[in-house]
A and B are shown apart, each in its own frame.
Chain A
């Protein structure tokens, strides 16, 4: 069975600084997808970034980028130039290729951006 671990329950960062959220996972699958979701205090979960395991290049979306290390089963999220609006819960999620589109979520990291 797959597991996803987020070892940082809470983090804080100064506005305009860079922060990295960690995520590790365990799987015997070779083909899978990884996601980072953001849940602001208003509660709707929104996708931040996604990574296909077969792609070696790390995904980037504006200020958000990932460091995907397949051999180490690590998938960290880097937020550059942090903004107050980045304050949220961040969840890492795993989904294996094919099958039922089920996600396995980590326990989340609460990020607070300080003015």
Chain B
């Protein structure tokens, strides 16, 4: 089974802090994604990565950056956290070259910025 591990289920940080959300996969998959999930808005793509050190902006990248130094780890960084970044964050991976293979998700990190 595909395993996608997010480092924290719940996280509370203060405004202005630099926040790191970690996502680790247990295989050699190339494509990894960070989404944020908000009620009434569904999932929106923040950033994705298709290989080590390769990244592309998604639909809502403002206020975020990412890092992928090793294939198995994809980090989402909030450079200076703000209250409007309070949300659920989901990491996902795409497991195969074939498009019809689904994305697999981690458990999510519920982040509160105070």
Chain B binding surface SS class: strand
Beyond the given A6-B42, A100-B31, A100-B48, could you list 18 further A-B residue pairs with CB under 8 A, ordered by the A residue number?
A: A33-B99, A43-B88, A43-B107, A44-B106, A44-B107, A44-B108, A45-B92, A45-B105, A50-B100, A91-B42, A91-B43, A98-B99, A100-B56, A102-B33, A103-B43, A103-B45, A105-B35, A105-B42
The docked-state distance in angstroms from the alpha carbon of A81 to that of B45 is: 34
Is the CB of B94 closer than 8 A to any CB of chain A?
Answer: yes
The docked-state distance in angstroms from the alpha carbon of A96 to that of B102 is: 12
Is the CB of B50 closer than 8 A to any CB of chain A?
Answer: yes
Size band of the interface chain A makes with B: 20 to 34
Chain A interface (Cβ < 8 Å from any Cβ of B)? 6, 9, 33, 35, 42-47, 50, 52, 91, 95-98, 100-103, 105-108
**Do the beta carbons of B94 and A105 come within 8 Å of each other?**
no
> Knowing A43-B108, A44-B106, A100-B31 touch, does A95 contact B42 (C-beta < 8 A)?
no
Total chain B interface residues with beta-carbon distance under 8 A: 25
- B41: nearest residue on chain A (CB-CB)? A107
Write out the residue numbers on chain B whose beta carbons fall within 8 Å of the beta carbon of A45. 90, 92, 105
